């Protein structure tokens, strides 16, 4: 019996030793790397850590951009490659931007090549007269040093930046998608220092939803922010609010929309212009105090939205409006309200759906009325964990509560009142719309 117990203890000791060794090896492997998004090679994880310090943990006063990212901006840029780019070697095989020669010296040209091992397209500087890089045999003839530098150059381009923002839209090859993700992440946040400025945004919290009563998470938000007066409306009562605060034409435009989301757009612009305060979409779940999500001393606050692609391939920038704030009478929201009314009057049906009342339209108003407008977050709702959500640097300020609509696509179903579905059916405006 004693011998059996000793054997059992010995077996346990061996198993514990093996498991401990494996854990130690994994820990060592990940010790030099960020956890990142939980997938990818060790090289990708290490690269993920290299880029993460560029993301700041909290909002900072305006001045230098809050977020920066090394991105080539075409022929006008003469800064050369980033500090951590691989050095030029005998064949000058370093990463380059096909839009310019900024990363290649005078004796090299930037060529594109699809590399068979990772099925990505990237650019490399190639000595003039050294032959075309389209020949796969050139890989076989490269020296080990060339291979190492070229592999590093590919990795510098083929990183996981898109995992930190949104799923890239299909309007170019992989390199173009990555560049657009880089540019989006590098858009600066504009957060003024309010320590010596008066708070001009009223503490009113506006929301609208189908139900006249606040949802569970909306009630929790109200209780967690007791200094705010709650102005919650149903889809029906919001019509009377718009009529009383913004006039009969605004009310007619509100009633003309078939998609409830478009009515909510008009409601928020009316509330911001007429009363001021803070607006949250009905599915927004704040993770920080409401007064930390916007600039209380600025005339208005918006967010960055990932560029959208119109049907004709035009890339449209956007200003996100899931969380917005305003002092009464802010010019940017007066512009947005007037634009929505005029779009209803003309029965505007653009290829870019967000031009009617959404972020693309709001961006146009921002370009005209950007004075004293703060930008406090990037919308990264499609990003991989832990970057998903409405994000300021690497701080998630809010999540969106998923609903049934989030899962309908997986079942090949659609919401009959979804704005994208109705836009496809060209059913945006009621036939009985009185606004002429």
Q: What is the pTM of this model?
A: 0.67
- pLDDT > 90 fraction of the chain, expressed in percent and rounded: 47
Q: What confidence tier does 361 reach under pLDDT thresholds 50, 70, 90?
A: very high
Answer yes or no: is pLDDT of 168 > 90: no
Residue 305, strand partner residues = 318
**Nearest-angstrom CA–CA distance, 165 and 160:** 10
Does residue 314 or residue 205 have the better pLDDT? 205
SS3 28: helix
Give the model confidence (pLDDT) of 204-221 as tens digits. 999 999 999 999 999 999
Torsion sign, CA atoms 88, 91, 97, 99: positive
Average pLDDT rounded to a whole number, residues 142-149:
55
Evaluate whether 278 touches 323 at the Cβ level (below 8 Å).
yes
Question: Could you count the other beta carbons within 10 Å of the beta carbon of residue 209?
Answer: 19
Of 257-261, 297-301, 308-312, minimum mean pLDDT range: 308-312
Q: How many CB atoms lie within 10 A of CB 299?
A: 22
Count CA within 13 A, CB hemisphere, residue 99. Answer: 11
The pLDDT mean for the chain works out to 74
352 closest CA partner among 169, 84, 81: 169
The yes-or-no verdict on residue 251 having pLDDT over 70 is: yes
> pLDDT tens, 392-412?
998 999 999 987 777 776 777
pLDDT of amino acid 58: 38
**Residue scoring higher pLDDT (112 or 321):** 321
Residue 301 pLDDT > 50, yes or no?
A: yes
Greatest mean pLDDT among 156-160, 273-277, 418-422 lies in: 273-277
What is the arithmetic mean of pLDDT over 160-174?
A: 65
* Residue 49 binned pLDDT confidence (cut-offs 50, 70, 90): very low
- What distance in Å separates the CA atoms of residue 336 and residue 349, rounded to the nearest whole number? 17
Q: CA 167, CA 311: separation in Å to the nearest integer?
A: 18
pLDDT band at residue 323 under the 50/70/90 scheme:
very high
The better pLDDT of the pair 127, 323 is held by 323
Q: Which of 335, 321, 343 is nearest to 256 (CA)?
A: 343
The predicted pLDDT at position 253 comes to: 98
Q: Dig out the tokens for 355 from the structure.
A: 């031009």
- Structure confidence at residue 104 (pLDDT): 63
Which pLDDT score, from 0 to 100, does residue 383 have?
Answer: 83
Q: What is the mean pLDDT of residues 383-398?
A: 90
Residue 27 has pLDDT above 70, yes or no: no
């Amino acid at each position: 019996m004693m011998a059996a117990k000793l054997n059992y203890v010995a077996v346990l000791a061996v198993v514990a030793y093996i498991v401990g060794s494996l854990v130690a090896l994994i820990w060592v492997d990940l010790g030099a790397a960020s956890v990142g998004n939980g997938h990818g090679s060790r090289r990708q994880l290490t690269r993920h850590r290299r880029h993460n310090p560029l993301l700041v943990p909290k909002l900072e006063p305006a001045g230098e951009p809050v977020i920066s990212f090394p991105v080539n901006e075409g022929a006008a840029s003469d800064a050369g490659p980033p500090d951590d780019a691989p050095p030029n070697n005998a064949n000058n095989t370093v990463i380059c931007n096909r839009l310019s020669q900024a990363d290649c010296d005078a004796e090299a040209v930037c060529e594109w090549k699809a590399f068979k091992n990772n099925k990505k397209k990237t650019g490399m500087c190639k000595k003039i007269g050294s032959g075309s890089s389209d020949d796969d045999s050139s890989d076989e003839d490269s020296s080990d040093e060339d291979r190492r530098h070229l592999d590093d150059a590919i990795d510098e381009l083929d990183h996981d930046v898109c995992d930190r923002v949104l799923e890239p839209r299909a309007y170019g090859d992989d390199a173009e998608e990555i560049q657009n993700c880089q540019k989006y992440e590098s858009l600066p946040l504009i957060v003024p220092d309010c320590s010596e400025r008066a708070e001009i945004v009223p503490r009113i919290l506006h929301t609208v939803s189908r139900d006249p009563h606040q949802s569970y998470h909306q009630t929790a938000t109200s209780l967690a922010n007791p200094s705010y007066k709650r102005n919650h409306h149903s889809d029906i009562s919001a019509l009377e609010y718009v009529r009383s605060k913004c006039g009969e034409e605004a009310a007619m435009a509100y009633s003309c929309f078939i998609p409830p989301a478009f009515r909510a757009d008009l409601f928020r612009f009316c509330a911001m212009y007429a009363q001021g305060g803070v607006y949250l979409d009905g599915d927004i779940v704040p993770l920080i105090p409401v007064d930390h999500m916007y600039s209380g001393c600025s005339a208005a606050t918006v967010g960055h939205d990932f560029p959208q692609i119109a049907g004709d391939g035009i890339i449209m920038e956007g200003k996100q409006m899931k969380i917005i704030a305003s002092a009464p009478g802010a010019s940017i929201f007066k512009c947005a309200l007037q634009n929505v009314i005029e779009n209803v009057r003309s029965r505007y049906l653009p290829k870019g759906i967000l031009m009617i009342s959404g972020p693309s339209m709001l961006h146009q108003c921002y370009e005209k009325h950007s004075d004293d407008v703060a930008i406090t977050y990037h919308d990264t709702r499609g990003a991989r964990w832990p970057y998903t959500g409405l994000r300021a640097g690497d701080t998630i300020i809010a999540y969106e509560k998923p609903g049934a609509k989030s899962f309908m696509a997986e079942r090949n179903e659609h919401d009959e009142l979804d704005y994208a579905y109705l836009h496809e059916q060209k059913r945006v405006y009621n036939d009985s719309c009185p606004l002429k």
